[in-house]
Amino acid sequence: MPSESPALRRVVFVLLCLAVSAGLGTLLWRVLASGGWTGWEVVVAAAYLLTLPWTAICVVNAGLGLAILLAVRDAPGFLVPQVRGTGPRLRTAIAVCVRNEDMAAVLPPLGRLLDGLEAAGEGERFTLWFLSDTRDPEHAAREDAAVAAFVAARGGGVPVRHRRRADGAGFKAGNVMEFLDNHAGGHELVVMLDADSEMSAAAVLRLVRGMEADPGLALIQQLIVGRPAPRAFPRLFQFGMRAGMRAWATGQGWWQLDDGPYWGHNAVFRVAPFREHARLPVLPDGSAILSHDQVEAVLLHAAGWRVRCLPAEDGSLEGNPPALPEFLERDRRWGAGNMQYRYLIGRPGLRWMGRWQMAQAMLLFLTAPLWVVMLLAAVGNAVSGGGASTPMGALAGLLFVTWLCNAAPKLCGYAEVLIKREMAATYGGRGAFLRGAVLEIVFSLLIEPVSLINKTISLGMLALGVRSGWGVQNRVDRGVAWGDAARLLWPHTLVGVGCVLALASVSGAALLCGLPFLAGSVLTIPLCVWTAAPGVSGWLVRRRIAATPEELAGTGRAAQSAAHV
């Protein structure tokens, strides 16, 4: 847009990141340089400095995002003004990828979406497509019967189509591209949904209007928040995630502008450029790209098409992992996919922003072993006596400031809600919101070390050549048995217990400094069991702790089932 200056905004972003990094680096120097340097401290400093790019991104994106959210009444419209416009009405396919899914969970949100489109008088330009990669014959038969019953029950309105591929080549990206090549004729746009997606008619129409208003847009990605969740793990996880993503995406959208991201679903894209330019290359070893969405966005950027992120929460939901094992497994899959970007980042013809986005996606996982190395080196330094001259007050201050910086997106999102009375009211008021925020912060402090250790183990296995594919996801709420938790999480527990015992042998002060970063790994097995247990989950639901606006409004399948936990 004429008033936008991408180069200037990106210079501002980089300068702010450098300022944050310089400030944290100075604090680190003042803490570790006292009394000279040990070999352990050199390792700690090197690892810490390598984490600063990610830390600085967190701070700057969050700070910019909070400033925009507080200063601008309609931040999504400010960042994607196309959604306020109009243009020629375009035929749109609503595409849902399914693979061995429980269709009883998939279909009701789609029924509500189609009802809403028809009630708005817009149903005639949409077609719902099920893009099936289901291979198992029993699953396929149940899927076919469920879709047929869904169509029969609707009795007309928005047309519904169902096709199953003969093979599963290219995973989800291959599924979508086969649809575009062979079945998308007559449609200019595709609204892309996952099996656990839920979008309102208003949200879908807003995305479509944005594409109609600007023929230079190839894709608009909407923000995605978690469905109301009756189990403690996803309930607490998504409470913090939505706050963090709102601030992060708003700040990032301000400086990335037309080089925005794609997250693979709850988005709309233009058929012609996507089909022509977003076809994924094969990796050098002949394998398919797993984390396809960001690569597709980068290829669209490179071809001169615009991609924008709409940082609006309303009407755009997804399911989250129902328990800690599924969360850790998702991280493993994402890590395996993101690390494939090392083969693509030097691909000729890409824009520098696209290369940066792939680097950032890898950085999310590469920082994990750096934090683990930092922890182990700090414990080694304490045990060897190297920390005797370290000023404990300054060290505690550095640790606290570092946590604040890494948690900045979430904290800025929380601050926005507490500042805006009307927004807080959708969470049941400021008091109710603050209770959820405090409990989520404690939860995340306990879970984050487990996640970092898990990412480190996963990257280590990748480096050793261990590949485990991209399996079917469990989306069903469940409990976790103690034995299952122990078999999965004994390495994470071992790291925590070993470090705690080592620090305790040095001094109480050393143990206190380390405990906030070690308690989660020590307690990971009971945490895994408790956050999936119906009793703990029911207690949270009954007291509406960490309840989302959708749950309090009674929206969605999970909100209805939550009352029966």
Residue 282 burial (10 A CB sphere; 0-12, 13-18, 19+): exposed
Model confidence pLDDT, tens digit, residues 152-166: 998 888 999 999 998
The string of pLDDT tens digits covering residues 295-343 is 999 999 999 999 999 999 999 999 888 999 999 999 998 998 899 999 9
Helices of type H across 214-309: 232-256, 271-277, 292-302
Q: How many C-beta atoms surround the C-beta of residue 356 within 10 A?
A: 17
pLDDT beyond 70 at 261: yes
CA distance 547 to 410: 16
Q: What amino acid occupies position 480? A: V
The gap from C-alpha 61 to its chain's centroid, in whole angstroms, comes to 15
**What's the pLDDT at 3?**
54
Query: Which two three-digit tokens encode residue 140?
Result: 């396929």
Position 556 confidence tier, pLDDT thresholds 50, 70, 90? very low
Q: CA 516, CA 503: separation in Å to the nearest integer?
A: 13
Phi and psi at residue 192, in whole multiples of 5°?
Answer: -95, 125
Per-residue pLDDT for 387 more than 80?
A: no
pLDDT at 520 (0 to 100): 94
What CA dihedral angle connects 468, 471, 476 and 482, to 10 degrees? -20
CATH superfamily of 75-224+263-318: Spore Coat Polysaccharide Biosynthesis Protein SpsA; Chain A (3.90.550.10)
Residue ranges covered by each domain of the chain:
6-71+359-562, 75-224+263-318
- pLDDT score recorded for residue 565: 38
Residue 127 is given by DSSP the state E
Residues across the chain: 565
The pLDDT > 90 percentage for the chain reads: 76
Percentage, residues of the chain above pLDDT 70: 96
Q: What is the DSSP string of 346-415?
A: T-TT--HHHHHHHHHHHHHHHHHHHHHHHHHHHHHHHHTTTTTTS-HHHHHHHHHHHHHHHTHHHHHHHH
